[in-house]
Chains A and B, each alone.
Chain A
């Protein structure tokens, strides 16, 4: 390990420490704000470190810098102003929107890696890439629909259609098949597109039939999914802070989802069953 690499690894470890303690502090109203700020400090540390790594490596193309900085600037401005202005009652759909873009970012990183190393990916690494793209795709479209339902842009009623069950089965098979062929025939780019399309449709079909009242639980579940997608993105670029933070959110988000469903006297399976056309369809439009 070079000196910089060693320092970077240690800084990422401190960053991961901040996230874990941050989540820990957020369990009580008294310390929650401190916890969130601690986790923000961890985030800043990780960003400064990766920036230093890029600057010292010095192999980033000028256009890549421009793309990166433009994306960051627009993203920070948009995210910050939306979060500052949103009325408190509209917070859940905004969180869902932020979750959607997080999943989208993870999926984009998976796509990038798949495209750049196409054909040269060793088997054990192609699995996380495929999972990253598919889970990221599902959370991206699923969370966008959840945002729409919570804000009333998409009908809050469960949306079902006659062949929904069949469509679900087809999409699940297409997703699995695409994942399989992405791993076995990595030089064929069409399977990447198929996986992407199938996972996006999967997200739609999963969220559309769920009623607006159950949406917060679904948002929390998709949040946990995004955590996993980010963890797999960490495998892809071999960065431990992504793996730790992603797995942390994936696990903590799952527990949180169970607790939220519990508070509503529903089970997660029961809520999602609506999502696969077997549950609360009596109120369908």
Chain B
């Protein structure tokens, strides 16, 4: 196993542990926004769309770049916008959590 691969694997395992730890019990009103927020974060795959663009040199690959960029951009733009809107609902009536609960 190469040095880079080992480093990546270590980062992967430790990040998994961070993910498990950072997520303690959250109120049920926040479950959907949290799901949506996490969904927006994996939109970071857009970085991958940029990265493969550097290697594309024929039509089939250009098409793949287009779709990777399209899909990832929808994920990022939509994910953050809709999460922000959902969380905006908490701003409107602060302290009135019981109503938002159901």
Instruction: Report A's interface with B, CB cutoff 8 A.
Output: 15-16, 19-20, 22-24, 26-30, 32-33, 35-37, 39-40, 43, 46-47, 50-51, 53-54, 57, 59-61, 63-65, 67-80, 82-84, 86, 88, 91-92, 94-95, 97-99, 101-102, 104-106, 108-109, 111-113, 115-116, 124-125, 216, 219-220, 223-224, 226-227, 230-231, 233-256, 259-260, 263
Interface size on B, residues (CB 8 A): 83
Q: List 19 A-B contacts (CB under 8 A).
A: A39-B41, A43-B41, A54-B54, A60-B56, A68-B50, A71-B66, A75-B72, A78-B74, A80-B77, A83-B78, A101-B71, A102-B39, A112-B64, A236-B48, A251-B15, A252-B20, A253-B19, A256-B31, A260-B35
Over the window 71-89 of chain B, the binary record of Cβ atoms lying under 8 Å from chain A Cβ atoms (1 yes, 0 no) is 1111111111111111111
User: Which A residues are in CB contact (< 8 Å) with B97?
Assistant: 29
User: In the assembled complex, which residues on chain B have CB atoms less than 8 Å from the CB atom of A98?
Assistant: 36, 39-40, 43, 74-75, 78-79, 82
Bound together, the chains give a CA A263 to CA B88 distance in angstroms of 23
How far, in angstroms, from A74 to B17 measured CA to CA in the complex? 36
B71 touches A108 (CB 8 A): yes
Question: For the complex, would chain B's binding face be called helix, strand, loop or mixed by DSSP majority?
Answer: helix
Which residues of B36-81 are within 8 A (CB) of A? 36-57, 60-81
A238 partner residues in chain B, CB cutoff 8 A: 4, 8
Contact present for B42 and A239 (CB under 8 Å) = no
Nearest CB on A from B90, distance (A): 5
CA distance A259 to B38 in the complex (A): 15
Q: Enumerate chain B residues within 8 angstroms of A63, measured Cβ to Cβ.
A: 56, 62
Cα–Cα distance between A174 and B49 once the two chains are bound (Å) = 28
- Chain B contacts of A26 at CB under 8 A? 30, 33-34, 37
